[in-house]
Chains A and B, each alone.
Chain A
């Protein structure tokens, strides 16, 4: 018995253990661990499967309803669970609607411009703070971190933005939240860990800081850059409260999330849909498949980007969560 376990232990010790993950790599179950019981396996499978179902089933139903014909929606008495009569009618109608089309363009524009601006500003700031013992970086860092703990609050910020003429302006949706200190700190911790020898070598070759950032630091930290860009992008794409604050009456300037809120969640008819005039009290609720198509539309860009960035979460987020 003692013998066997000693052998097992030495065998386990010889096997390279990937740092971090207990069951890392292709190692599989460690030899010393008990084989699973059937009941335990079943309970584990049911729980994990249940969690997956709770996340995925509503999305499935929403997506399926959006591609169902009005007849199929009626037969199902509402939301569609099994594929029945498929049709892209709702999407054709939705994209033919000027309100939705404008909102889509507005959302894409704000997200693109905002993310680009945020990334440029954050990457520069993070690199500027990442070189050890550089002049003044401690003071700038302090200035950044203070904003994480004290702030003016909603109303003083609102007064400053409107005081600068931000009311009804798109920049009011972008500039006030353009810098996320948390994201800057995550980037900084990655840039600080770029090998100093690499940077010194580049400096010897005559590269200045701009060159080093562009040709050395950025290429070696693509993963974290992608994750931070996703965070910013999702923030801009999803934001709706800023719209409520700064563009509450300009329906022609509303982004997609606000249209979704108004026409789907509050049950107001889509302006372009049959028999409904924009803003009129008698507006009919848009057909369910049309509403669900708007829901899916707000999801599409995320689902396109997500698979490419998702694999970097582990590297990108953990540093931030633990060091930040």
Chain B
């Protein structure tokens, strides 16, 4: 009896709340609708990875392939090359890119003049907003076969080196492009973490006779630890998504042996050749490994006593 009444009351309460908040709920409808159509419906499209998908008859009537597409992937040397490239390029970027924003933020944090800080920040944030097409065009003009560097080399008869088409140095090239475009933007997060460090700690350490390097080692770096670990976790979770557009644009110039990564593989061997199921299988493979990577990296962060993506 009493439970019945309270249950009815709860239901009524819900209706009342729905009536009260219907405008708020209505406001979320357009966004939810777009996400349902373009993010949730494609989730069902994943089944194409287990089919011989034929665009003429659609998902519903296409034949089932079981794990055949995945078996094809694992037998495909081009796929293994793409996976190898992905991991290699990701690793090089991790080693050479990741520390740069941290170092720049540390350096900038020691600059006293507000004007210099502002000038520096507004300049180094800028390339983040350039498109990859623009960035690569600029690199092409500087380092390409007809570019600035080779013109200089020719003028001094040293011989030429077309960096933009050299598969051997491709990893260094794309990393330097990423550094040029994104390192400046990356310092924002670290500057925020630096500004959150209590200045009284520096003062106390200075009073105890710690010099600037000891203060950096014992106060600044421990203060940054949480953010560094978080950024590292995010980075590892994205290890299989090294700059897609960047490689797509340069693939023709350096050849697919060096420039194919998992994303470009899915594009060229899926969409461009109408072999949709094969591409979808490659995409699914990538998503699953990525999820495992981010999960593992997060576990690792927790093992080091940091929060990672979420608090335990």
Partner pick for A135 among B25, B104, B127, B130, CB 8 A cutoff: B25
Given known pairs A151-B287, A155-B45, the reply for A310 and B270 (CB within 8 Å) is: no
B110: CB under 8 A from chain A? yes
**Which of A49-57, A87-95, A218-226, A268-276 is found at the contact surface with chain B?**
A49-57
Known: A135-B21, A210-B23. A310 touches B125 (CB 8 A): yes
Nearest Cβ distance between residue B255 and chain A, in whole angstroms? 15
Select from chain B the residue with minimum beta-carbon distance to A23.
B112
List the B residue with the shortest CB-CB distance to A48: B120
Contact B123 A52 (CB under 8 A): yes
Contacts A149-B291, A154-B270; is A32 near B141 (CB within 8 Å)? no
**A127 contacts which chain B residues (CB < 8 A)?**
24, 27
Is B125 touching A313 in the complex (CB atoms < 8 A)? yes
Q: Establish whether residues B14 and A77, one from each chain, have CB atoms under 8 Å apart when the complex forms.
A: no
Taking the complex as formed, is A113 at the interface, i.e. its CB lies under 8 A from any CB of chain B?
Answer: no
Interface presence of A137 (CB below 8 A): yes
In the bound complex, residues from chain B placing their C-beta under 8 Å from that of A164 are: 37
Q: Given A44-B110, A135-B17, A154-B266, A121–B141 Cβ distance below 8 Å?
A: no
Return the CB mask of B30-44 against A: 1 if under 8 Å, else 0: 111011011111111
B228 to chain A, nearest CB (A): 13
Q: Smallest distance from the beta carbon of B33 to chain A beta carbons, Å? A: 9
A177 to chain B, nearest CB (A): 8
Q: In the complex, are the beta carbons of A160 and B45 less than 8 A apart?
A: yes
Count B interface residues, CB 8 Å.
101
Chain A contact patch, size range: 35 or more
**CB-CB under 8 A for A122 and B279, given A23-B112, A128-B24, A134-B24:** no
Q: How far is the CA of A17 from the CA of B195 in the complex (A)?
A: 12
CA distance A321 to B128 in the complex (A): 15
Query: CA separation between A33 and B146, bound complex, in Å?
Result: 50
Known contacts A44-B111, A147-B39; A295 and B134 CB within 8 A of each other: yes
Does A12 lie at the interface of the complex (its beta carbon under 8 Å from any beta carbon of B)? yes
A27-39 contact mask (Cβ, 8 Å, vs B): 1 or 0: 0111011100000
Question: Which residues of chain A come closer than 8 Å to B167, judged between CB atoms?
Answer: none
Is A86 part of the contact surface with B, judged by Cβ < 8 Å?
Answer: no
- Taken residue by residue from 145 to 168, chain A's Cβ proximity to chain B (1 for < 8 Å, 0 otherwise) reads as 001011111111111110110000
Asked if residues B45 and A136 are in contact (CB atoms below 8 Å), the reply is: no
Say whether A124 contacts B37, CB under 8 Å. no
Interface: A244 (CB within 8 A): yes
Residues of A near B109 (CB, < 8 A) are 22
Q: Is A58 an interface residue (CB 8 A)?
A: yes
Chain B residues close to A by CB (< 8 Å)? 14, 17-18, 20-28, 30-32, 34-35, 37-46, 48, 53, 55, 58-59, 104, 107-112, 114, 116, 120-127, 129-134, 136-138, 140-142, 146-148, 151, 155, 180, 184, 188-189, 192, 194-197, 199-200, 202-203, 206-207, 211-212, 244-245, 248-249, 252, 263, 266-267, 270-271, 276, 279-280, 283-284, 286-287, 291
Mark A residues whose CB is within 8 Å of B: 5, 8-9, 12-13, 17, 20-26, 28-30, 32-34, 44, 47-48, 51-52, 54-56, 58-59, 61-62, 77-79, 120-122, 124-125, 127-129, 131, 134-137, 140, 143-144, 147, 149-161, 163-164, 175-179, 181, 184, 208-210, 213, 230, 234, 237-241, 244-245, 257-258, 260-261, 264-266, 292, 295, 298-299, 302, 306-307, 310, 313-314, 317-318, 321-322
